[in-house]
A = this chain, B = another copy of it.
Amino acid sequence: MGLHRVVQPAGVLPQAAWRLDASREIAPNEVRIRVQRLNLDAASFRQLSEKHGGNGDAVRAEVLEIISARGKMQNPVTGSGGMLIGVVEEAGRRSPLGLKAGERVATLVSLTLTPLVITDGLARWDGRSEQVPCDGWAILFARSIAAALPEDEDPQLSLAVLDVCGAPALTARVVSRYVEDRQRAGDPTPVSVAVIGGAGKSGSLSLAAARRAGAARTVGVVPVAAERDALTAAGLASVVAVADARDPVGLSTAVTTALGTPADVTVVCVDVPGCEHGAVLATADGGTVIFFSMATSFSAAALGAEGLAADVTMLVGNGYVPGHAELALGLLRAEPGVRRLFAARIAAD
């Protein structure tokens, strides 16, 4: 778990630590990665970029400052990190991760708990994109997770998919459960799913995963017409609707109109605050809301559902579900619509 790398405060886990020891030497159960690229969490990059009014040099300077002060890339305001790709430089003899020197990998644990040193001053990054080319090293612990990058895919595309691979995996699990429960009960009601932010990375994968898991009807909610057109062209949702996710009544009306009923499962994939109440209102009694946005407020969700007397199950989106990397990369291969949306997003970055 990397407890020996925690410098301050003592006794907490690496993710909760203010500062980690990112020394180059590895313990027998650790792995050192030569880092080639960071992929900053969307909420983190947005906060930094807005704070500095889009000034890339200032964003770069603050990211360097955070990494050097904390020994990891964890945005102190959003609490979030991101992930990285690189090449295995040295694997300790007792590491259970099965990695070999020279393998190209992406880490599937957050940067918030990954000891990290940058050695090139981020000289090749303009501070204007979540994708950060860089040189340096990072340390993986025994319980860290890393996935080998497919050799036949653009690494940047694989990285973007792996970054959010927990979302389609958990969506598939929850939707499958509703499908199985209805089958067992002999209930012919089709399972309906709403994905808020359906044209984004985690959103488009979640729509594809929901359909494959047996959702009969899906709606992708997007904020603007351009995303509506892109998602419609991708063919991943039964219906595409435009609504502001921060407007509870507007959002729930859009979902209910599109599906003909509130959703059995609502998946929140937009990284803006204030979507909790709309998501709850858009969900049927007995339904489930899965919050994947790091901008989610725990108390707004808990008190919102209580205040609306809404009998909904609310899940904290866990980025780890067994098999998540394979499932997400499989969706990229099988769903041309997913590939198109990801490629367009990377090109726009």
Contacts and interface: CB of A to CB of B under 8 A. Distances in A.
Interface of A: 1, 3, 11-16, 78-81, 108-110, 112-113, 143-145, 166, 247-249, 274, 277, 291, 294, 296-322
Nearest to A311: B322
Contacts of A16: 274, 277, 300, 304
* Assembly stoichiometry (copies): 2
Query: Nearest 8 pairs between A and B by C-beta?
Result: A306-B319, A314-B316, A79-B299, A113-B307, A298-B298, A305-B318, A15-B307, A306-B320
A294 to B, nearest CB: 5
A274 B15 CA distance: 11
Nearest to A302: B316
A306 B1 CA distance: 12
B297 A319 contact: no
Given A298-B316, A302-B316, A308 B80 contact: no
17 contacts: A13-B304, A14-B307, A109-B307, A110-B303, A112-B303, A112-B307, A294-B298, A298-B316, A303-B319, A306-B318, A308-B320, A311-B318, A313-B315, A313-B318, A314-B316, A314-B318, A316-B316
Contacts of A109: 306-307, 309
Contact of A308 (B1, B12, B247): B1
Most buried by B among A16, A112, A321: A16
A293 to B, nearest CB: 9
Contacts of A322: 311
Contacts of A291: 298, 316
Nearest to A81: B303
Nearest to A310: B320
Contact of A318 (B79, B80, B312): B312
Contact of A297 (B249, B274, B298, B307): B298
